A and B are shown apart, each in its own frame.
Chain A
């Protein structure tokens, strides 16, 4: 693979597809039928629950309990959405904003930290490097949720719980990101280039920022995306850390709304807002997925998983 791995993923694929297309002669399309049907069957499976969510979010609470789940009843989508946003003094907005904030800061922060550390591990030699890297990689194996409670206890001691930092700081530590960036940096940043920059008198930090980082960008974006989704979807950590709804992300907030129904007593079980809220919280990520498709692979292709 060349020094600039970004271009690599798509190019050979196109070449391959064309080659096979021409060599397969008349019956070519026949070979497409079975795989397409096979994939289509699974596509139904993967999209059906989302279809249900979309349909359910258009239903009033009564229809939710009283009509067939996979088909429409009276159309109440906009009522549900406005109820979702106005419930509990519009706390849903706050949750949406928190989720975006936590995800964005964690993703960019983790991306930068991993890019720098991966670069450091890949392109430099220093004492204890291998031991450090070994320890970091080993840490992937400790479930983050097993770590969440001790972290919570520690944060509680220093008064850092119920605070956005208590969610953001642990999300910045991404051993997988380090692993990915190290391997990516090994392939993407030619040592000759660094050496040339050094001869030109550039400092190490400038070399990283102005020369290497650009080459690391695809890997950085991939780490950023994975971290963004991981933080967006994180439930356990904020559940443990936060005690006030004004700091909740969507996942914890929606689970709270859902559990209000299960506790009985005076309050109401507004399943329609839980469902509409779920729908609203899923849509931005799905749109992002569709538009950012290729970036998911860019860092992976050239990096960690190469055979």
Chain B
């Protein structure tokens, strides 16, 4: 994590340090007080639930026979639970496919908008960003209708030109169909972050490139892209976390294609079903914890990889 802070904030801090003098130790108490409201909430609503989950995860409560301490049994079960590990695998696959596609699209859109070589830039900026205003639940409902196997609009169109209708909801295509919903919803969000980052690149750097005779594409690749790295990393981390949170889409699609989406299609859905449908709260707590650890490791890995690349 410290790397991310350093990478993302590095230049700012360095520049800031050069410009003004900080007085370490001065008014420290006041500084702490400013962070206090957040810290209280953070303790109560982040640290406490985590500790509570940890505590719960060491017990097992049965419908008949009550509550007993079971040590790490829930964790051992979790690691061997194929439904859970396969859910994680599925989300990992999702992540490998969806995140790069989405970030690439967001990057290209941001670059095009920033280049100024497009008509109606405002229209595109708002139009692409607008799906972010649509709650995931509603996005999933909409796409669910559109994906309709027999009578969705795509199926109707295919019918009209006499080709077999595409099946968006089969076992082999479902993950892509969900990825599409995420891409649709969040590309604009990422585009705005990247676009904002592009806007803050000092103009002198462009001018230098222009003097060298670099074209728009070359400027984009050689001047802009390296400077975007912190913003891209930020987007990547958020997307990774978002992937592990997949819930609304599979939950809604389960009513359309229950044969594909079972109880444990994504880890999050699984934890939810365990807690509320199977009443295995302790086990659900343990899996929540394991899931958090997995996300932490993956995010760390993403950052580590990005840093390695930067060093090269």
User: Which residues in A have some Cβ–Cβ distance to B below 8 Å?
Assistant: 1, 8-9, 12-13, 15-17, 19-21, 23, 31-32, 35-36, 38-39, 42-43, 45-47, 49-50, 52-53, 56, 65, 68-70, 113-114, 116-117, 119-121, 123-127, 129, 132-134, 136-147, 149-151, 153-154, 169-170, 172-173, 175-176, 178-179, 182-183, 186-187, 190-192, 204-205, 208, 229, 232-236, 240, 250-251, 254-255, 258-259, 262, 274-275, 278, 281-282, 285-286, 288-290, 293, 296-297, 300-302, 304-307
Contact = CB atoms under 8 A, between A and B. Distances in A.
Nearest to A277: B138
Which one of A124, A169, A232 has the highest number of Cβ atoms from chain B below 10 Å of its Cβ? A124
A301 B38 contact: no
A120 B34 contact: yes
B260 interface: no
A96 B291 CA distance: 33
Contacts of B284: 149
Contact of B138 (A116, A173, A183, A278): A278
Nearest to B234: A305
Q: What 9 A-B pairs are tightest by C-beta distance, nearest first?
A: A124-B31, A120-B34, A150-B53, A69-B153, A126-B28, A307-B227, A305-B231, A285-B133, A300-B196
Contact of A12 (B25, B49, B138, B203): B203
A13 B206 CA distance: 11
B119 to A, nearest CB: 5
A305 B28 contact: no
Contacts of A123: 31
A293 B49 CA distance: 36
B199 A13 contact: yes
A41 to B, nearest CB: 11
B165 interface: no
B5 A297 contact: no
B237 interface: yes
B291 A143 contact: yes
Contact of A116 (B37, B119, B145, B201): B37
8 contacts: A16-B116, A20-B117, A46-B187, A120-B32, A125-B22, A126-B29, A149-B284, A307-B197
A209 B265 CA distance: 48
B230 A305 contact: yes
A254 B197 CA distance: 36
Contacts of B88: none
Nearest to A12: B203
Contacts of B32: 120, 124, 126, 129
Interface string B34-66: 110111011011101110110010000000000
Given A20-B116, A140-B237, A305-B230, A154 B48 contact: yes
B119 A235 contact: no
Contacts of A301: 196-197, 199-200
Given A23-B210, A153-B52, 14 more contacts: A12-B199, A32-B118, A49-B143, A125-B31, A141-B295, A143-B292, A143-B295, A147-B288, A173-B45, A178-B38, A204-B30, A285-B133, A297-B192, A307-B201
B244 interface: yes
A144 B291 CA distance: 11
A141 B237 contact: yes
Contacts of A179: 8
B89 interface: no
A146 B271 contact: yes
B78 interface: no
Nearest to B160: A68
Contacts of A117: 34-35, 37-39
Contacts of A35: 112, 115, 117-118
B101 to A, nearest CB: 12
Contacts of A186: 9, 12-13, 16
Interface string B274-312: 011000010011001101100110011000000000000
Contact of B288 (A70, A116, A146, A176): A146
Nearest to B276: A240
B176 interface: no
B136 interface: yes
A118 to B, nearest CB: 9
B53 A258 contact: no
Interface stretch (B68-76, B123-131, B166-174): B123-131
B135 A150 contact: no
Contacts of B16: 186-187
A293 B126 contact: yes
B288 A149 contact: yes
Contacts of A39: 109, 112, 118, 124
